[in-house]
């Protein structure tokens, strides 16, 4: 058996190292573009154990990236968000950010600036998502290249019809160098975070659950999350809150009658907590911007009712109430000391367990700063598994 070296990721000074003992590993000793079956089995186990894997100085074609991503779910085939480029789904907020590699349509070109003659694309005009296009409030123009925000905390998932990808692969081709930026939370806490230019920020869904107080753990283990149909179209006129962790409630979501044709059977209802297939741990996995309802089961027989939230169960449909509750549960886990902001170098390949972390684009680029990445994730062949009966009895 090949010896694969897995060492902890280099953490920024802002990180609380005690909360990152299991999160993230840098992998050496194997070529991710050409893994043997035995090597892949080891990499798969490492990824589910550690949520994110970094390989440095990788040479990888789009075909190889697709093959690696598909190996985690051999029955998967199509890009994780489906095709958001046709017809009425052009209203989707994802539409401007994705350029498909023609010969490998499961791989997307993302970034900033103009890229020429790239993998069959004569010219690709890329735009790094900027908070001013999505958030209700903005950092002043004069501070724009010094300060930044989390754009949108999310899971890579269509959240309608298709199942959330198990794994996302991100491959850095062109990384502009520049000074670090100060990320502002702008939520009244005074929280700030020093971040590399154009970082991708990650937080652990396991940590998100682990740090909850007992009454919120009980709620989480009993709750299912219902997403809106075509959620990225539904939210297309809405604005995000300053932390990027959900939406303002302004009544700007599209009425269901104005969405592309949708089918009740394709609406996604997921457990709030997703069970790790290797460790058995529970990860708090909710994409807050797309949620329309929370469905809470009653406490199991014999559970302590004192202090419990919704002990008899509930169906929460008021968007403001839903969003405030989700924010209360998720905001602690995006505190500066719990965020891993990856400092990209060219030819970095990052694999992350899309069912175990939340992540977000960060940063503000000048128009002439060229950044190019290949991204691949595939709509899964199954839905995530929620808490077991034993988990329910333990945490409820």
- Asked if residue 338 lies in contact with residue 203, where contact means CB atoms within 8 angstroms, the answer is yes
pLDDT tens, residue by residue, 200-236: 999 999 999 999 999 999 999 999 999 999 999 999 9
pLDDT of residue 166: 98
CA distances from 165 to 46, 114, 168, 191, 383 (A): 17, 29, 7, 32, 9
pLDDT tens, residue by residue, 159-171: 999 999 999 999 9
CATH class entry, domain 5-206+341-377 = alpha beta
3-state class (DSSP) for residue 360: strand
Closest to 22 in 3D by CA, of 43, 46, 55: 46
Cα of first residue to Cα of last residue in the chain, in angstroms, is 43
pLDDT of residue 367: 87
| DSSP character string of 156-194 | S---BSSBPPSEEEEEEEE------EEEE--SSS--EEE
Closest to 318 in 3D by CA, of 251, 256, 260: 251
Closest to 279 in 3D by CA, of 357, 356, 393: 356
Tokens read off for 84: 């958001």
- Asked if residue 16 lies in contact with residue 207, where contact means CB atoms within 8 angstroms, the answer is no
The number of beta carbons lying within 10 Å of the beta carbon of residue 338 is 20
pLDDT tens, residue by residue, 290-316: 999 999 999 999 899 999 999 999 999
Closest to 376 in 3D by CA, of 109, 194, 112: 109
- Asked if residue 378 lies in contact with residue 73, where contact means CB atoms within 8 angstroms, the answer is yes
Tokens read off for 45: 């186990």
Determine how β-strand 147-148 pairs with β-strand 181-184.
Answer: parallel
Identify the bridge partners of residue 121 per DSSP, sorted by sequence position: 118
Query: Which sequence spans correspond to the domains of the chain?
Result: 5-206+341-377, 214-332+386-395
pLDDT of residue 364: 85
The number of beta carbons lying within 10 Å of the beta carbon of residue 45 is 13
Could you say which residues of the chain have pLDDT below 70? 1, 82-97
pLDDT of residue 86: 38
pLDDT of residue 97: 62
Determine how β-strand 167-174 pairs with β-strand 349-353.
Answer: antiparallel
As a whole number of angstroms, the distance between CA 9 and CA 198 comes to 18
């Amino acid at each position: 058996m090949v010896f694969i070296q897995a060492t902890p990721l280099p953490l920024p000074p802002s990180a609380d190292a005690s909360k990152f003992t299991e999160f993230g590993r840098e992998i050496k000793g194997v070529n991710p573009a050409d893994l043997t079956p035995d090597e892949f089995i080891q990499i798969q186990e490492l990824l589910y154990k550690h949520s994110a894997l970094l390989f440095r100085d990788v040479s990888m074609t789009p075909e190889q990236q697709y093959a690696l991503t598909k190996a985690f779910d051999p029955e998967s085939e199509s890009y994780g968000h489906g095709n958001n480029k046709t017809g009425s789904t052009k209203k989707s907020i994802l539409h401007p950010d994705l350029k498909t590699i023609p010969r490998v349509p499961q791989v997307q070109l993302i970034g900033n600036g103009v890229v020429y003659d790239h993998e069959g694309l004569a010219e690709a005009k890329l735009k790094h998502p900027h908070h001013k296009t999505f958030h209700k409030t903005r950092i002043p123009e004069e501070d724009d290249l010094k300060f930044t925000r989390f754009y949108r905390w999310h899971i890579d998932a269509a959240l309608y019809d298709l199942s959330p990808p198990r794994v996302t692969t991100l491959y850095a081709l062109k990384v502009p160098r520049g000074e670090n930026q100060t990320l502002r939370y702008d939520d009244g806490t005074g929280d700030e975070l020093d971040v590399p230019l154009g970082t991708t920020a990650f937080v652990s869904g396991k940590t998100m659950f682990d740090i909850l107080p007992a009454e919120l753990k009980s709620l989480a283990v009993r709750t299912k999350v219902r997403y809106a149909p075509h959620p990225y179209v539904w939210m297309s006129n809405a604005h995000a809150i300053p932390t990027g962790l959900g939406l303002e409630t302004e009544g700007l979501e599209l009425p269901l009658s104005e969405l592309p044709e949708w089918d009740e059977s394709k609406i996604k209802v997921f457990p709030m907590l997703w069970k790790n297939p290797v460790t058995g741990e529970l990860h708090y996995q909710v994409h807050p911007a797309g949620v329309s309802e929370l469905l809470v089961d009653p406490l199991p027989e014999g559970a302590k009712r004192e202090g419990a939230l919704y002990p008899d169960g509930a169906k929460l449909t008021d968007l403001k109430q839903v969003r405030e509750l989700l924010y209360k549960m998720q905001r602690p886990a995006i505190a500066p000391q719990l965020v891993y902001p990856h400092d990209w170098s060219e030819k970095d390949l990052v694999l992350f367990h899309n069912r175990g972390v939340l992540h977000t684009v960060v940063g503000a680029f000048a128009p002439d700063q060229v950044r190019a990445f290949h991204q691949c994730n595939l709509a899964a062949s199954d839905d995530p598994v929620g808490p077991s009966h034993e988990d329910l009895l333990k945490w409820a």
